[in-house]
């Protein structure tokens, strides 16, 4: 039986991973400067523009890369992924994030 949501498995597993990689390496395709209410592809001086928000770029990158992968990976491959694996990726990711951010909670 074909699974209608097979591609969503790929998207779901990759979204958090891609987002975390972009967050960890501080990569962004653009920045948002709330003081200027402006998006920019180049870094603006903090003295003129204030601090930049990269979160929007991380969300867009995770969405686009996960969507592309879910559309490029053949449906038959996606159907072979057991449903339990879809839960493994986010659980492992949460544990990794908690370990990475432990400095906020443990002194």
Looking at residue 71, its pLDDT comes to 93
Does the global pTM surpass 0.85? no
Predicted local confidence at residue 5, as pLDDT: 83
DSSP letter for each residue of 32-43:
EETTTTEEESSP
Three-class HEC string of 60-107: HHHHHHHHHHHHHCCHHHHHCCCHHHHHHHHHHHHHHHHHHCHHHCCC
Residues in the chain: 107
Distance separating alpha carbons of residues 11 and 6, to the nearest angstrom:
9
Q: What is the pLDDT along the chain (107 residues), one digit of tens a residue?
A: 457 788 898 998 899 999 999 999 999 999 999 999 999 999 999 999 999 999 999 999 999 999 999 999 998 988 888 888 888 888 999 999 899 888 888 86
pLDDT for 84 equals: 82
Nearest to 12 by CA among 74, 71, 70: 70
C-alpha gyration radius of the chain: 17
């Amino acid at each position: 039986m074909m699974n209608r949501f097979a591609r969503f498995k790929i998207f779901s597993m990759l979204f958090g991973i891609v987002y975390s990689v972009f967050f960890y390496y501080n990569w962004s395709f653009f920045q948002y400067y709330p003081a200027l209410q402006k998006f920019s592809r180049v870094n603006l001086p903090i003295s003129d523009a204030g601090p930049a928000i990269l979160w929007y770029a991380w969300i867009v990158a995770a969405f686009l890369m996960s969507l592309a992968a879910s559309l490029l990976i053949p449906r038959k491959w996606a159907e072979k992924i057991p449903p339990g694996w879809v839960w493994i990726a986010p659980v492992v990711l949460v544990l990794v994030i908690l370990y990475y951010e432990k400095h906020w909670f443990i002194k």
